[in-house]
Amino acid sequence: MSAPATPHKALEHKEADTVKKSRFFEAFDARTSQSIRSIAVQHGISERTATYWLNQRQNQGSPAYRRSRKLSKRLGRQPKLTDEQLQHLLSPSNPVRNQHYAHQIEHFGLSCGIRTLQTALRDRANHAGRYKSVRIKQLSSSNKEKRKLYGKEHQEKTIEKFWANIYFTDEAHIDPSEVFQQYILREEGTRYEPENIQELPEKKGTKLHIATWINWQQKAERLEFYNDENDHLEPPKRPSRPRRSRYETEEQFQQRIVSWEANLPHEVETKPKGNSMTQKYYTERLLPVYIKAIQEARIAYGQDIILQEDNDPSHGTKSELNVAKQLKDSNWITVLIHPA
């Protein structure tokens, strides 16, 4: 008596889609005058399927040669990092958000490597990763309001009709005691969220000063390295305002006020320490460079050019009677008024 066996059944030898697709594409690419329909019939597929495969290859390239069915999310190995773990890493409450990936893995005891963590953050957390944090100085409420008004005033102005005529200028200062920008773990597009901003500390030891200008059409050929040769002095202490005594008349008190105001230190002549300069030095050393560039642009483009400065006291933007303002007026320089 023979042992039981599985009944013989004829198997349908059906080619996989990947092989059939590849052979169809080879025949289609090597065709001379054959139509899509005739090639499809030869390979046992419908004309509609052939057209669908060709559109796939045109849109996807080489991936179209493989199976195109959707992969089940329930199949395969489970990810080493859960969505909750990724969100916890990106949370502002993460105490090591500004540390390297390896330190974060060690701190939270994650069972993955650096590459696995980077891939999970990129693919499952909106392209998250370690980006540089934004460094800003804390803004006052009045400055915030001025910035809003400035934005509303200029939001409709175009480059061709307005911004291309602005000559932007600035003076930069390199501070050896400066704190470097930190890298923090965050999602892409969240650069200016409050929890991703690093406030700038006060500068303590500025040593190098750089100035230049730039415009939409061109920029300065070289940087201006400058240094006020005069020794920078500490600003004299401002005397406190007098208080009226019960034993003096109103007239006597006003005389003391006048005497107090006359003895106040002159702010323009004060040579502050750090990244500041006097109006006299700015007017003699840097402002002529900016004015020369504007005058050359007027001749070259035949347009009214506007100078942009920040609101540093040395630029003379906060008063009418000062040497910087007089030099700009004598050269018909228009200044772009903007908030700090």
The CA distance from 145 to 37, in Å, is: 68
Query: How sure is the predictor about 276, in pLDDT bands with cuts at 50, 70 and 90?
Result: low
Phi/psi at 73 (5° precision) = -75, -10
Q: What is the pLDDT of residue 269?
A: 42
Phi/psi at 234 (5° precision) = -70, 135
Q: Answer with the residue of higher pLDDT: 131 or 3.
A: 131
Instruction: Answer yes or no: is pLDDT of 137 > 90.
Output: no
Range from 19-28, 154-163, 276-285 carrying the lowest mean pLDDT: 276-285
Phi/psi at 186 (5° precision) = -155, 170
Q: What is the pLDDT of residue 277?
A: 76
Instruction: Answer yes or no: is pLDDT of 27 > 50.
Output: yes
The CA distance from 132 to 335, in Å, is: 33
Query: How sure is the predictor about 14, in pLDDT bands with cuts at 50, 70 and 90?
Result: very low
Query: How sure is the predictor about 11, in pLDDT bands with cuts at 50, 70 and 90?
Result: very low
Angle separating helix axes 287-301 and 323-330, nearest 10 degrees: 20
Q: Residue 173 corresponds to which tokens in the numbers above?
A: 């200062």
pLDDT digit string, tens, across residues 280-330: 888 889 999 999 999 999 998 888 899 999 888 888 887 777 888 889 999
* Per-chain mean pLDDT for the chain: 81
The CA distance from 295 to 310, in Å, is: 20
CB 309 within 8 A of CB 317: yes
Neighbours of 251 (CB within 10 A): 7
The CA distance from 225 to 108, in Å, is: 48
Q: Which of 115, 112, 125, 122 is nearest to 78 (CA)?
A: 112
Strands of 306-308's sheet in order across: 224-226, 208-214, 166-174, 306-308, 334-335
CB 292 within 8 A of CB 213: no
Q: What is the pLDDT of residue 76?
A: 65
Burial track 155-165 (b if 16+ CB lie within 10 A, e otherwise): eeeeeeeebeb
What is the C-alpha R_g of the chain? 36
Query: How sure is the predictor about 166, in pLDDT bands with cuts at 50, 70 and 90?
Result: very high
- Average pLDDT for 180-201: 77
Q: What is the pLDDT of residue 229?
A: 54
Instruction: Answer yes or no: is pLDDT of 12 > 50.
Output: no
Range from 68-82, 114-128, 251-265 carrying the lowest mean pLDDT: 68-82
Q: Answer with the residue of higher pLDDT: 177 or 85.
A: 85
Q: What is the pLDDT of residue 270?
A: 41
Q: What is the pLDDT of residue 1?
A: 53
Q: What is the pLDDT of residue 138?
A: 73
Q: How would you class 53 by CB atoms within 10 Å of its CB: exposed for 0-12, middle for 13-18, buried for 19 or more?
A: buried
Q: What is the pLDDT of residue 313?
A: 81
Strands 197-199 and 134-136, how do they pair? parallel
pLDDT digit string, tens, across residues 201-221: 665 655 678 899 999 989 999
pLDDT digit string, tens, across residues 36-66: 999 999 888 999 999 988 988 888 887 778 7
The CA distance from 294 to 213, in Å, is: 10
CB 231 within 8 A of CB 271: yes
Please give the C-alpha separations between residue 309 and each of 114, 293, 316, 340, in angstroms, as whole numbers. Answer: 46, 14, 10, 10
Name the residue type at position 78.
Answer: Q
DSSP state of 34: -
Torsion angle, alpha carbons of 269, 212, 305, 278, to 10: 0
pLDDT digit string, tens, across residues 218-274: 999 999 988 765 544 555 677 788 888 888 888 888 888 777 776 665 554 444 444
- Average pLDDT for 119-136: 86
